[in-house]
Amino acid sequence: MAKLLHMPEVSANATHAAIQNWTLKEGDTISAGDCIAEIETEKALVELAAEEDAVLGKILVEPGREVEVGAPIGVLFARGETNVDIAALLAKAGALSAANEPVVDAPVLQPRAEVAPAIDVCHSERIFASPLARRLAAAKGLDLTSLKGSGPNGRIVKRDVEAAPAANTALASVAAPVSAIDFDEVPHSSMRKTIARRLVESKATVPHFYLELECRMEPLLALREQVNRTASRKISINDFIVKAVAVALRQVPAMNVTWTETALRRYHQADVCVAVSTDSGLITPVVRNADSKALSQISADVAELAGRARDGRLRPEEYQGGSFTISNLGMFGVEQFSAIINPPHAAILAVGATQLKPVVENGELTVGSVLRCTLSVDHRAVDGALAAQWLAVFKGLLENPLGMLI
């Protein structure tokens, strides 16, 4: 019996999603568990796996087109089944598909499965602007959504763009006379848009404060060397930091919280997110229960999550949750930086490089291995003294690493 394949709710609260790629074509036989398609969410690619044996009868939504969650995206035939009345199936699906006209209108056979123009996916609302206004705005580096149109029905026209100050005057005045097309435009991916939206939201609405301190790293470096001499997989400084953060969260549970409009959410386990840079942007996979995991397990988890994050193949549950993020730019030689809190987290620890530096020890100037950390904290959820107390615990763990292994 043929049935409709619906767009799953691949990430929490998402109302829309797009098929990034059909991994099978019409007529292909499917075994339960096979990946039928890859679905792009705001954060990652998710595989849509078959629940039972079937045949991919029809593809209703071409790649790239965003449709409502729950909308039919394809038709699965039973093996051996022919003469399926797809129209009747869609009609039976009723309200949802009717409310989602493009899906119903989708031709049964797509002669070419071209990716729809980026603009259809990127803009939920069409911006009315003349072609010339679009081009001039691009040359000026202006975002059309920031302009008010004075043309018929609010259409953005040349004079509106000319009246707007250039986004970057220096750039525009140099670039414009030569050519308006001295650049090319890469349409934003869903992921990039999510990053932008969330970071703006964080920086604009979350009251950040910052605490900085230095940790002496000699004991940790010595321990790491010792461990790595025998360990099957190398443990990184970052693995120690993940562990130390988690243990510190366990020891100062008041820090393991997130702010919501109605209540402070206190977490029962220490889940630590690690910022991973990928080609398409930043993502923060979560290491669950990091306080109780062995360093080798943390190392394996981080490596595995980071690898799949770079492939865009994280599942939502692998990057959602937690209260705390670690962002480590030490491997790039960055000495110190401040990070933007990753909402809804309450804090993010920016970790720099471990460097040899002059330090004062017992009144004597000497050389020490120093790691600088900056903690960004959501002041709504955590006050300064508490954050400082947590940071002291963290520093203690890092400087006496055996303590966190016990």
Partner 1 sequence: MSEIKFDVIVVGGGPGGYVAAIRASQLGLRTALVEKAQLGGVCLNWGCIPTKALLRSADVLRLIGNASSFGIEVAAARPDLKAIVKRSRDVAAQLHRGVSGLMKKHRVQVFNGHARLDGPQRLKVTGEKGDFSLSAPHIILATGARARVLPGMEPDGKHFWTYRQALVPDSVPKRLVIIGAGAIGVEFASFYHALGAQVSLVEMAERILPIEDQEISAHVAQALTRDGIRLYTGCALQGSKVEQGIVQLRLEGKSNETLEADVVLVAAGIVGNVEELGLESTGVKVQHTHVLVDEFCRTGEPGVYAIGDLAGAPWLAHKASHEAVLCVEKIAGLNPHPLDSRSVPACTYSHPQVASVGYTEAQARSAGKTIRVGKFPFAANGKAIAMGATEGFVKVVFDAASGELLGAHMVGEEVTEMIQGYAIARGLETTEAELIDSILPHPTMSEAMHEAVLAAYDRALHG
Compute CA 107 distance to the chain's CA centroid, rounded to the nearest angstrom. 34
- Indicate the helix (H) or strand (E) that contains 376: strand 364-378
In the complex, what is the shortest distance from the CB of residue 143 to partner 1, in angstroms, rounded to a whole number?
18
Catalytic pick from 16, 188, 208, 379? 379
In the complex, what is the shortest distance from the CB of residue 110 to partner 1, in angstroms, rounded to a whole number?
22
Nearer to partner 1, 160 or 239 (CB): 160
Compute CA 359 distance to the chain's CA centroid, rounded to the nearest angstrom. 38
Nearer to partner 1, 132 or 196 (CB): 132
- Taking 3-state DSSP, the helix, strand and coil percentages for the chain, each rounded to the nearest 5, stand at 35, 25, 40
Q: Encode burial over 146-162: b for 16+ CB neighbours within 10 A, e otherwise.
A: ebebeeeeeebbbebbe
> What tokens appear for 104 in the block?
């119903």
Contact status, residue 67 vs residue 17, Cβ threshold 8 Å: yes
Q: Could you tell me the CA-to-CA distances from 123 to 63, 96, 114, 115, 188 in Å, in that order? A: 16, 22, 18, 15, 10
Q: Encode burial over 257-276: b for 16+ CB neighbours within 10 A, e otherwise.
A: bbbeeeeeeebebbbbbbbb
State residue 22 phi and psi, 5-degree precision: -85, 125
In the complex, what is the shortest distance from the CB of residue 116 to partner 1, in angstroms, rounded to a whole number?
17
Nearer to partner 1, 4 or 133 (CB): 133
> What tokens appear for 366 in the block?
């000497």
Nearer to partner 1, 172 or 249 (CB): 172
Nearer to partner 1, 10 or 164 (CB): 164
Contacts of 267 (CB under 8 A, 6+ apart): 249, 256, 257, 258, 322, 323
In the complex, what is the shortest distance from the CB of residue 127 to partner 1, in angstroms, rounded to a whole number?
14
Nearer to partner 1, 157 or 305 (CB): 157
Q: What is the rounded distance in angstroms from the CA atom of residue 273 to the CA atom of residue 185?
A: 32
Give which of 171, 314, 300, 326 is closest to 245, Cα–Cα: 326
> What tokens appear for 86 in the block?
């797809």
Residue 123 falls in the annotated catalytic set: no
Give which of 149, 101, 105 is closest to 127, Cα–Cα: 149
- Indicate the helix (H) or strand (E) that contains 77: strand 72-77
- Which amino acid appears at position 233 of this protein? R
Nearer to partner 1, 157 or 373 (CB): 157
Contacts of 253 (CB under 8 A, 6+ apart): 266
Give which of 162, 191, 188, 182 is closest to 278, Cα–Cα: 191
Nearer to partner 1, 107 or 177 (CB): 177
In the complex, what is the shortest distance from the CB of residue 129 to partner 1, in angstroms, rounded to a whole number?
9
Peptide bond into 344 cis (omega under 30): yes
Chain residues in the site for partner 1 (CB under 8 A): 130-133, 135-136, 139, 150, 157-159, 176-180
Catalytic residues: 379
